[in-house]
Amino acid sequence: MLCGVDEAGRGCCAGPLVVAAVVLSEAIEGLADSKVLSEKRREKLFDQIIEKSKHKILFFDNNFIDNFGLSHALHDALVQISEHFDAYEILMDGNCTFGVDGIKTMVKADAKVAEVSAASILAKVSRDRYMYAIACKYPQYSFAKHKGYITSLHVKQIEEFGYSSIHRKSYKIKALSEPKLF
């Protein structure tokens, strides 16, 4: 039996890193990398995955990431997943095990392996739901729109309002550090 693992939010400058692990109990039609699916399709698949799998979803907030780093968060996630799914072969999307023994990796596994596609969807939808929920607390940042990723709009908002309490302050945003000519 295979446990697929993927994450969402690694490249964001605000909000949590979310890591999901999935063992499917039955096949689910239409699984794919979450990035190529519409939001509506991801939401529909999310409910099916929850219903037809054993799964674990882990959140690492911006403070954890600022204090310990992304690699440490991913290491911790894989340790927890390994302990929770100890009877399963674990396959992580990408090419790094973050120092955790017994983890296999595959580049683009989220597009090739159903369990990893399912994990990709659980991580993405869980993170997006969190960002929608938190957006009303920080309306000036449009988190429901860009979900904490670095966009030109988000950079302008940080320049105008500074960092919020959910921003990753350890991240260096190139657009903010470049000198302005005018």
State the pLDDT at residue 7: 98
| 59/125 Cα distance (integer angstroms) | 12
User: What homologous superfamily is domain 2-177 in, according to CATH?
Assistant: Ribonuclease H-like superfamily/Ribonuclease H (3.30.420.10)
Both tokens of 132, joined, read: 């929608």
Phi/psi at 133 (5° precision): -65, -40
The per-residue pLDDT for range 117-138, each reduced to its tens digit, is 999 999 999 999 999 999 999 9
Answer for the pair 54, 23: CB distance below 8 angstroms, yes or no. yes
**Summary mean pLDDT of the chain:** 95
On the question of pLDDT at 38 being above 70, the answer is yes
Answer for the pair 111, 36: CB distance below 8 angstroms, yes or no. yes
State the pLDDT at residue 180: 53
Q: pTM of the full predicted structure?
A: 0.93
Phi/psi at 59 (5° precision): -115, 135
State the pLDDT at residue 24: 98
